[in-house]
Structure 1
Amino acid sequence: MSTFSRLGGLLLAAALPLGAQAELPAERIEPSIHAELAAHTRHFAQQIYRVAGNVHSAVGWQLGNVVMIEAPEGLIIVDTGESVSESRKIMAEFRKLSDKPVKAVVYTHFHPDHINGVQAFVSREQVERGEVHIYAHETLLQNVVAQGALVGPILGVRSAYSFGSFLPASDQEGMNAGIGPLAKAEPSSFIAPTVTFGERLDTRIAGLDVQFLHVPSEAPDEIILYLPDNRVLISAEVDQGPTLPNIHTLRGTRFRDPVQWVESLDKLRAYRAEHMVPLHGRPVSGQDKVEEVLRMTRDGIAYIHDQTVRWMNKGLTPDELVEKVKLPPHLAGYTPYLREYYGTVKHSVRQIYNGYLGWFQGDPVALDPTPPRQQAERLIALAGGREKLLLEAGNAYLKGDYQWAAELAGYAIRVDHDDKLAREIKARSFRKLGYASMNINWRNWYLMSAMELEGKLDGDAIRQRSVEMREVFLSPDMVRSFTPQSFLQNWVTRIDPQKAGDLELTLGFSFPDVDEQWALEVRRGVAQLHKGIPEGTELRLSMDKRFMETLLTGEGGLVKGALLGDVKVEGNLLEIRRFLACFDFADEAFGLTLR
């Protein structure tokens, strides 16, 4: 069947008064990759790069690189990858180069692709015995906790979309992740840092001088290493590697301040290093080349920020800004470091606007808008009904205007999530947009959303993958690093006001093995955490921190713990049960596209 007849059939189907279960003629959209993105995959061919004699960077095994520094008295491992199994392969390659013992591990920041593979290189026992030290910024641990506990459920689902976790092999063949090969999601391993610092640390590790510097940029706790003996700069993700930096990540993150990022890049330039070893992509050698990469990267970020702010100050809104702010040719064409494989100018611009001004753009119509479903119903009526709306969506699809086709079909879906014809138009449009995208994040979101629209992501699959992705951010090893405070602080955002609307009650928590006491107070739908247990508190639970960890991993439960003696209870059991019932710890299965 020709393309014309297939799509002509689509238009005919849209033009007829079809029911919600109508089907479109079959059309096979073959998986493809943007040519430049496909060529970019070669950048991440597996190789151990040797730099300045004693620094070795393993590129191509995982999303993030692992770096081995050979010091006189042992090895320093910088970042550990996202996968223990793949990191073991890297360690086997390193062992071909040196049989020295590992003396230190460095976490350059808290993201999973930089810390999750640690137990491929060292054991917890080695660290506990003091044989190996783990270096990190002083805020890394609190960032790990916030990432895994506070927003773990939504971050798990959004990360699955960003990384294309459900995509079939046909959609991933020959692909890369923009900053490295495709990520290999595994439950994380983790060992807490033993040596932390604030702004700067000059030290000697295994007989080698090492300078650490805090350089907030892609992550708030980002640190770099400089080896003065051979002028090697290990730049972490201040230089994000062979791509336009991801000034904002679509999976969700706190504001990444571009001004701060530019300042950090200028601090790296001040070293005038002879070699630069990023934690994504290949090393760069030669002082002039290192300076060029750093300067161009900082200029790219600065340009996007400065021009966004310039036009913000002339009243432009995000939808207008993304059409106005574009990199000039000398920056946009700086391959590969400013090409839009991972970050994009458009989604960076939106983040900058929101970071400075928030969501409100100045038109009061947005203060209390018509609810989405009601708005869709009215617009469909204005268009002359569902059939005419989908006819126009089909026309847009035929003309290659896939964005408009998806937007129009989206109104019908908002009114009826089961509108099969609308879902198929939108899904096909997303596949066309995804396969044409050079940006890996955009591609994955388009294709994952298409799968959701096509009914290929059911609730059980989403729930299971969400659990798997959460284990990337929050594993039993990470739970060991939770304090009683971080455990209970998570309860505050779990309060259900419908169940706690008339309750005023306080429950005390004692953790005798770590000599800590805390109390949760519920006041009519609001929960507050207090340090210490207020005098007169009648309801109390006492447990060891180790049992608390089983609650976080789902292995234990308070009722079971009370029956088995792991939890000691004081006070009226019915009142304690009433208190606990006010909190919502249920995990929901949800998609992100069907709204």
Structure 2
Amino acid sequence: MMRLWILAALAAAHPAAAEVPSAATKAANSAAAAALPFGDTEDFDFARRGLLARPDSDVLGADGRVIRSFADDAKVAGPAPDTVNPSLWRNAQLVSGAGLFEVVPGLWQVRGYDLANMTLIRGRTGLIVVDPLTTVETARAAMALARRHIGDLPVTAVIYTHSHIDHFGGVRGVVDEADVKAGKVRIYAPEGFMDHAISENVIAGAAMSRRAAFMFGTALEHGPEGIVSAGIGPVVAGGTYSLIEPTDTVRAGAETTQVDGMTFEFQLTPGTEAPAEMNVYLPHLRALCLAENANGAMHNVLTPRGALVRDAKVWADYLTEALTRFGGKSDVVFTSHFWPRWGGETLRRFMALHRDAYKYLHDQSVRMMNAGLNGNEIAEAIQLPPELAQAWFNRPNYGSLKFNARAVYQRYMGHYDGNPAHLDPLPDVERGKHIVAAIGGAQKVLAEAAKARKSGDERWAAELLSHLVMAEPDNARAKEMLAAGFEQMAWATETAPWRNIYLSGARELRGLPAGGGAANTSEIAMSTPLADLLDLMAVRLSPEKAAGADLSIGITLPDSGERRLVSVRNRVLVHQAWREGAAPAVTLTSPRRVFLGLVGGQVKAAEAVQKGILRIDGDAAQLQRFTGLFETPPATFGLALP
């Protein structure tokens, strides 16, 4: 934590040398202001409706550091400045309104405490919590606000709508795991939840975390020249991630159940916004929860942080099913982000037009793909028709139509575009050196980039300068010119993640911290199955260190009842379930927490054996060799730089 504090101090001490918005940036923002229906204020009415209380204090982390400052929300008040696209400024104002809201009698939401919403439903004996936020600290603070105004009711059930961490990570701030194990609290989740909640980000976790820091602007200052919104919520708050395994799995064919005396109807929607996701209908309230399948802005079919590509067609199809099943008997629709919508006609229009945007994205991307266009060409050509584009909930404040069109292409065709010249491309640094030399050297590239920037063509200037930065990473003029260009593109984009990525790239180029602090994931590791932990270890095995290794190891974790057989041969780690008669060369037996410390380097085997918390049977030298085979990924690495 001290290291993160130092980085934050450095960022405050050395602000970026930002330039002023260019004529092209101002013109782009003026055009956006003229083209969009800013006279439509329905969203502002919905976002304020039912307000019961605003937060009365900031949210603090375990170390006393502020992890959610509500004072930041005031920095997006008033008219849009020249440094923010007016559509994105509008989005920032809407998602910044933190507080406790009554949706209908017996149903409340706490919004604005971090990226997602927490929904509270009064059951027969207590509260049912839907999506307990991202971190323990924000969830605990949200519950405290709610209880001050709706009563100190016990939590009797938790519902995870889907397998992304901003919808389950705060669960230990809402309930005690002991109460779950004792049967006092039930936890419901869609089929496949645990597999995807744990594994989705495990294998590529280091790379995803680095890119997520750019996407969510975790190192950026809040305000008109920095981060104004996360697009889907006000901010990614810090704190402690947690996870408690569900007690009840919602499966296809078993979609209606009683939760604390209330009837809940579930609609499984796998393969949409998350690989394990579900919508929830509350017949006693005539209220429909669409999870993250519908939002106040376009979503990501492929997130810039990285993930598996989602299926835009399936996404649209499940919205059609939800509209058919629940649209005619719902008076309000609420979601895991943004704000509710009231009125049957209003919510049916919302569902239909939102569905049509994803269907149009899919169908027209495939049509152009089959006509011979590649992903980049489709992205440049595709546009939503006015009847879809003028709906604010289809605007690209979070997901981008361009990025999503490339994702549809990638889902069907992969990253290769079919051009033989792109079959075996040079890596960035080598390509940069060749291109700079072909253009005539660094000074020529700088001159051409300056000419492009003067004409307002920041995209071309950025491409030229990126080649030069890759070829000459110490070229200060190239880095500063590229950083300035990134700022101009950030100030004009309508999409919050793009803005944050551009501005984070500018910081990296200027030698400033661009990563921000990561949340505490130790509690997630405690809930991760041994097989997934071993998969993670496999992708961290150093082939150089494993040269010549021929190891056979058994691992037993009595507190979780897990046993695995592990082998390391040919510089590859393979593991499988324990089989009868297995005789590994060495067997390790320990509690899960000790095993995690052992492989992470925090626990020394000899000391653990002496304390009686680790037992080693067989060839201890094999275990010692095994624990030394792995490398820890760097906390940061270049994205705008080599």
Check whether TM > 0.5: yes
How far apart are the structure 1 equivalents of 2:474 and 2:142?
A: 47
| 1:383, distance to aligned residue in structure 2 (A) | 1.3
How far apart are the structure 1 equivalents of 2:156 and 2:173?
A: 14
- The runs of 5 or more residues in structure 1 that have no matched partner are 1-25
Tell me if structure 1 keeps the 8 A contact 2:161–2:291: yes
- Aligned position for 1:22: none
Tell me if structure 2 keeps the 8 A contact 1:107–1:115: yes
How far apart are the structure 1 equivalents of 2:373 and 2:144?
A: 54
How far apart are the structure 2 equivalents of 1:116 and 1:201?
A: 25
- Aligned position for 1:589: 636
1:223 aligns with 2:278: yes
Tell me if structure 2 keeps the 8 A contact 1:431–1:447: yes
Tell me if structure 1 keeps the 8 A contact 2:192–2:276: yes
| 1:392, distance to aligned residue in structure 2 (A) | 0.8
- Aligned position for 1:11: none
Match of 2:267, as an amino acid? L
Evaluate the alpha carbon distance shift between residue 551 and residue 191 of structure 1 in structure 2; reply closer, same or farther with a 3 A threshold.
farther
Selected match of 1:393 from 423, 429, 449: 449
Partner SS state of residue 545, structure 2: helix
Selected match of 1:488 from 534, 538, 553: 534
- TM-score of the two chains, using structure 1 as the length reference: 0.88
- 1:411-470, Cα deviation, whole Å (9 max, x unpaired): 11111211111111110000110011111010000000000001112xxx74xx4xx426
Selected match of 1:369 from 425, 432, 456: 425
How far apart are the structure 2 equivalents of 1:410 and 1:279?
A: 38
How far apart are the structure 2 equivalents of 1:27 and 1:123?
A: 47
- 1:344-403, Cα deviation, whole Å (9 max, x unpaired): 110001111111111121112222223433332222222121111111111112222111
Matched positions, count: 558
How far apart are the structure 2 equivalents of 1:326 and 1:511?
A: 54
Selected match of 1:580 from 618, 624, 627: 627
| 1:576, distance to aligned residue in structure 2 (A) | 3.3
- Aligned position for 2:58: none
Selected match of 1:541 from 585, 588, 609: 588
- Aligned position for 2:163: 110
- Aligned position for 1:304: 361
- Aligned position for 2:332: 275
Selected match of 1:326 from 355, 380, 383: 383
| 1:87, distance to aligned residue in structure 2 (A) | 3.0
Selected match of 2:121 from 51, 54, 69: 69
How far apart are the structure 2 equivalents of 1:350 and 1:297?
A: 19
Tell me if structure 1 keeps the 8 A contact 2:239–2:519: no
- Aligned position for 1:506: 552
Match of 1:576, as an amino acid? L
How far apart are the structure 1 equivalents of 2:106 and 2:472?
A: 62
Tell me if structure 2 keeps the 8 A contact 1:479–1:552: no
| 1:170, distance to aligned residue in structure 2 (A) | 3.9
- The runs of 5 or more residues in structure 2 that have no matched partner are 1-16, 22-81
- Aligned position for 2:347: 290
Structure 1 segment 153-172 matched on structure 2, within 5 A: 153-170=206-223
Tell me if structure 1 keeps the 8 A contact 2:278–2:291: yes
| 1:557, distance to aligned residue in structure 2 (A) | 4.3
- Aligned position for 2:131: 79
Q: Which moved more, 1:499-508 or 1:389-398?
A: 499-508
How far apart are the structure 1 equivalents of 2:247 and 2:450?
A: 60
Match of 2:522, as an amino acid? P
How far apart are the structure 2 equivalents of 1:581 and 1:554?
A: 9
Task: Give RMSD over aligned pairs.
Answer: 2.3
Structure 1 segment 446-457 matched on structure 2, within 5 A: 446-457=502-513
Structure 1 segment 131-530 matched on structure 2, within 5 A: 131-170=184-223, 175-199=228-252, 200-216=254-270, 217-239=272-294, 241-270=295-324, 271-272=326-327, 273-335=330-392, 337-457=393-513, 462=515, 465=516, 468-469=517-518, 471=520, 475-530=521-576
| 1:49, distance to aligned residue in structure 2 (A) | 3.4
Evaluate the alpha carbon distance shift between residue 436 and residue 531 of structure 1 in structure 2; reply closer, same or farther with a 3 A threshold.
same
How far apart are the structure 1 equivalents of 2:429 and 2:593?
A: 47
- TM-score of the two chains, using structure 2 as the length reference: 0.82
1:39 aligns with 2:68: no
- Aligned position for 2:61: none
Selected match of 1:556 from 603, 607, 619: 603
Match of 1:583, as an amino acid? F
Evaluate the alpha carbon distance shift between residue 211 and residue 146 of structure 1 in structure 2; reply closer, same or farther with a 3 A threshold.
same
Evaluate the alpha carbon distance shift between residue 454 and residue 483 of structure 1 in structure 2; reply closer, same or farther with a 3 A threshold.
same
- Aligned position for 1:121: 174
Match of 2:115, as an amino acid? L
- 1:117-160, Cα deviation, whole Å (9 max, x unpaired): 22332222322222111111232222222145322211211111
Partner SS state of residue 496, structure 1: coil
- 1:261-280, Cα deviation, whole Å (9 max, x unpaired): 11211121021222111111
Q: Which moved more, 1:510-519 or 1:285-294?
A: 510-519
1:93 aligns with 2:150: no
Evaluate the alpha carbon distance shift between residue 525 and residue 477 of structure 1 in structure 2; reply closer, same or farther with a 3 A threshold.
same
Partner SS state of residue 456, structure 1: coil
Match of 2:346, as an amino acid? K
Q: Which moved more, 1:150-159 or 1:435-444?
A: 150-159
How far apart are the structure 1 equivalents of 2:367 and 2:389?
A: 19
How far apart are the structure 1 equivalents of 2:627 and 2:605?
A: 10
Identity of aligned residues (%): 31
| 1:40, distance to aligned residue in structure 2 (A) | 2.2
How far apart are the structure 2 equivalents of 1:173 and 1:381?
A: 35
Evaluate the alpha carbon distance shift between residue 174 and residue 152 of structure 1 in structure 2; reply closer, same or farther with a 3 A threshold.
closer
How far apart are the structure 1 equivalents of 2:18 and 2:561?
A: 65
Evaluate the alpha carbon distance shift between residue 561 and residue 87 of structure 1 in structure 2; reply closer, same or farther with a 3 A threshold.
same
Evaluate the alpha carbon distance shift between residue 451 and residue 193 of structure 1 in structure 2; reply closer, same or farther with a 3 A threshold.
same
